[in-house]
Chains A and B, each alone.
Chain A
Amino acid sequence: MAVLGEGDLRAFRTFPKLLACLAASGGNRTAIREKDFGIWQSWTWREYLIEARSLAGGLAECGFQRGDKVAIIGDNRPELYFGIMAAQMLGGVPVPMYQDSIADEMVFILDHAEVRFAVVEDQEQVDKLLTVREQLPNLDFIIFEDDRGLRHYDEPGLMSYADSVRRGTEFELGKPNFIDEEIGKGEGEDIAVMLYTSGTTGQPKGVMLTYENVISTSWSGIEHDNLSSNEKVVAYMPMAWIGDHLFSYGQALCRGFTVNCPESADTVLQDVREIGPTCFFAPPRIWENILTTVMVRIEDSGWVKRKLFSFFMKLAERIGPEIMDGRKVGVLSRCLYFVGRILVYGPLRDNLGFSRMRIAYTAGEAIGPEIFTFYRSIGVNIKQLYGMTEATALVVGQADGEVYADSVGVPYPGVEIRIEDNGEVLCRSPGVFKGYYKNPEATTETLTADGWIRSGDAGLIDGDGQLRIIDRAKDVGKLNNGAMFAPKYIENKLKFSPYVREAVAFGNGHDAVTAFVNIDLEAVGNWAERKGLSYTSYTDLASKSEVYELVGRDIERVNGSLAQDKKLSASQITRFLILHKELDPDDNELTRTRKVRRRFIADKYSELIEALYTGQDSVDIDAQVTFEDGRTGSIQATLAIRDVSIGGGGQLNGGVRAV
Chain B
Amino acid sequence: MLEVKNISLSFGAVQALHDISFGVDQGEILAIIGPNGAGKSSMLNVINGFYTPDSGTILFKGVSRAKMEPAEVARAGVARTFQNIALFRGMTTLDNIMTGRNTKMSKNFLWQALHFGPARNEELEHRRKAEEIIDFLEIQAIRKTIVSRLPYGLQKRVELGRALAAEPELLLLDEPMAGMNTEEKEDMCRFILDVNDHFGTTIALIEHDMGVVMDISDRVVVLDYGQKIADGSPSEVRADKHVIDAYLGVSGN
Contacts and interface: CB of A to CB of B under 8 A. Distances in A.
Contact of A37 (B131, B141, B190, B193): B131
B194 A148 contact: yes
Interface string A132-154: 00000000000000001101100
Interface in A495-552: none
Interface in B110-145: 127-128, 131-132, 134-136, 138, 140-141, 143
Contact of B131 (A38, A149, A264, A270): A38
Interface in A259-275: 263-264, 266-267, 270
A269 to B, nearest CB: 10
A26 to B, nearest CB: 31
B197 A151 contact: yes
A39 B128 CA distance: 9
A37 B194 contact: no
Contacts, number: 34
B126 to A, nearest CB: 12
B194 A267 contact: no
Contacts of B143: 38
A38 B132 CA distance: 9
A36 B141 CA distance: 12
Contact of A149 (B128, B134, B197): B197
B140 A38 contact: yes
Most buried by A among B127, B140, B141, B198: B140
B141 A38 contact: no
B138 A38 contact: no
Contacts of A266: 140-141
A152 B197 contact: yes
Given A148-B194, A149-B198, A152-B197, A264 B138 contact: yes
A36 B135 contact: yes
A151 B190 CA distance: 14
Nearest to A628: B183
A36 B131 CA distance: 8
B161 to A, nearest CB: 13
B197 A37 contact: no
Interface in A22-74: 35-39
B168 to A, nearest CB: 19
Interface string A382-421: 0000000000000000000000000000000000000000
A569 to B, nearest CB: 45
A148 B140 contact: no
Interface in B191-219: 193-194, 197-198
A37 B198 contact: no
Interface in A240-289: 263-264, 266-267, 270
B141 A148 contact: no
Contacts of A148: 136, 194, 198
B190 A267 contact: no
Interface string B154-192: 000000000000000000000000000000000000100
Contacts of B197: 149, 151-152
Contacts of A36: 135
B109 to A, nearest CB: 24
Nearest to A36: B135
A149 B141 contact: no
A152 B194 CA distance: 11
Nearest to A269: B141
A264 B141 CA distance: 7
Contacts of A39: 131
Contact of A267 (B128, B132, B141, B198): B141
A35 B134 CA distance: 13
A439 B197 CA distance: 45
B194 A149 contact: yes
Contacts of A264: 138, 140-141
A263 B140 contact: yes
A38 B141 CA distance: 10
B236 to A, nearest CB: 24
Contacts of A263: 140-141
A148 B127 CA distance: 20
Nearest to A147: B198
Nearest to B135: A37
A36 B132 CA distance: 9
B138 A37 contact: no
Interface in A194-230: none
A151 B131 contact: no
Given A37-B131, A37-B135, A149 B190 contact: yes
A266 B154 CA distance: 14
Contact of B132 (A35, A37, A149, A151): A37
Nearest to B193: A149
B119 to A, nearest CB: 20
A151 B141 CA distance: 26
A37 B128 contact: yes
A383 to B, nearest CB: 30
B15 to A, nearest CB: 42
Nearest to A37: B131
A260 to B, nearest CB: 15
A163 B140 CA distance: 26
A336 B193 CA distance: 60
Interface in A308-343: none
Nearest to B134: A38
Contacts of A152: 197
A149 B199 CA distance: 11
Contacts of B134: 37-38
Nearest to A146: B135
Nearest to B143: A38
Given A149-B190, A149-B198, A151-B198, A270 B141 contact: yes
Nearest to B132: A37
B86 to A, nearest CB: 25
Contacts of B135: 36-37
A606 to B, nearest CB: 31
A152 B134 CA distance: 23
B185 to A, nearest CB: 14
A267 B140 CA distance: 7
Contacts of A267: 140-141
A37 B138 CA distance: 10
A436 to B, nearest CB: 37
B175 to A, nearest CB: 23
Contacts of B193: 149
Contacts of B140: 35, 38, 263-264, 266-267
12 contacts: A37-B128, A37-B134, A37-B135, A38-B134, A38-B140, A149-B193, A151-B197, A263-B140, A264-B140, A264-B141, A266-B141, A267-B140
Given A38-B134, A148-B194, A149-B193, 10 more contacts: A36-B135, A38-B131, A38-B140, A38-B143, A148-B136, A149-B190, A149-B194, A151-B197, A264-B141, A270-B141
Interface of A: 35-39, 148-149, 151-152, 263-264, 266-267, 270
Report the 4 A-B pairs with minimum CB-CB distance, sorted nearest first. Answer: A266-B141, A37-B131, A38-B131, A263-B140
